[in-house]
Amino acid sequence: VIVNSALEQASADKEAQKANLDKERRRLVKELRKMFMRLDDDGSGCISLEEIKAAASEDQEMLYSLLALEKPMEIFKILDVDGTGEIEIDEFCESIWQSVVSKAPVELKRMEKQVVQLRRDMKEVLELQKGQQRAGPHERARPESETS
């Protein structure tokens, strides 16, 4: 009876903790979306390094506190996982949320995302190679000296 009661309490605690985490995520993502809109000066739907640098002091302070980083370039590098030089709203919100809830250092999360992107890129390259192999051997391009 005592063991069952303890298990039920642990389960209820876990559910309450999950509900609190979900509530916190919704609150933070709502705030991050508002911040993103303020940062996106040109209305492109993406944030550039220049826009991060030009952020209002309260937005910079929030980013610094959430990511435990102080330089705009460091923040931008952490958030621009795909290396495009721009950060989309989902990339922005998800990266910051993952940094907030993760016990791992921000840099480790960035490396994990880069590995995932690298795997996607490698898969694409392999598919292209397979397509070229199926097309058959291509005629070797001859130097101009051989064609004259």
With a CB cutoff of 8 Å and minimum separation 6, the contacts of 62 are 31, 35
Confidence of residue 142 (pLDDT cuts 50, 70, 90): low
* Residue 139 DSSP code: P
Q: Are 56 and 63 in contact (CB under 8 A)?
A: no
In which region does residue 55 sit, left (phi positive, over 0), alpha (psi from -120 to 50) or beta (all else)?
Answer: beta
Structure tokens at 86: 């721009």
In the prediction, which pLDDT does 40 show?
A: 94
Q: Are 74 and 106 in contact (CB under 8 A)?
A: no
Tell me the whole-structure pTM to 2 decimals.
0.61
In the prediction, which pLDDT does 126 show?
A: 93
β strands within the chain, DSSP E: 46-47, 87-88
**Which secondary-structure segment (H or E) carries 125?**
helix 106-135
Q: Residues in the chain, how many? A: 148
In the prediction, which pLDDT does 3 show?
A: 75
Q: What residue spans of 40-88 are helical by DSSP H?
A: 49-53, 57-67, 72-79
Phi, psi of 116 (to 5 degrees): -60, -45
* Residue 148 DSSP code: -
Q: What is the pLDDT of residues 84-123, one digit of tens each?
A: 889 999 888 888 888 787 766 667 767 777 788 889 899 9
* Residue 69 DSSP code: -
The answer, yes or no, to whether residue 24 has pLDDT greater than 70, is yes
- Looking at the chain, the whole-number percentage of residues with pLDDT higher than 70 is 86
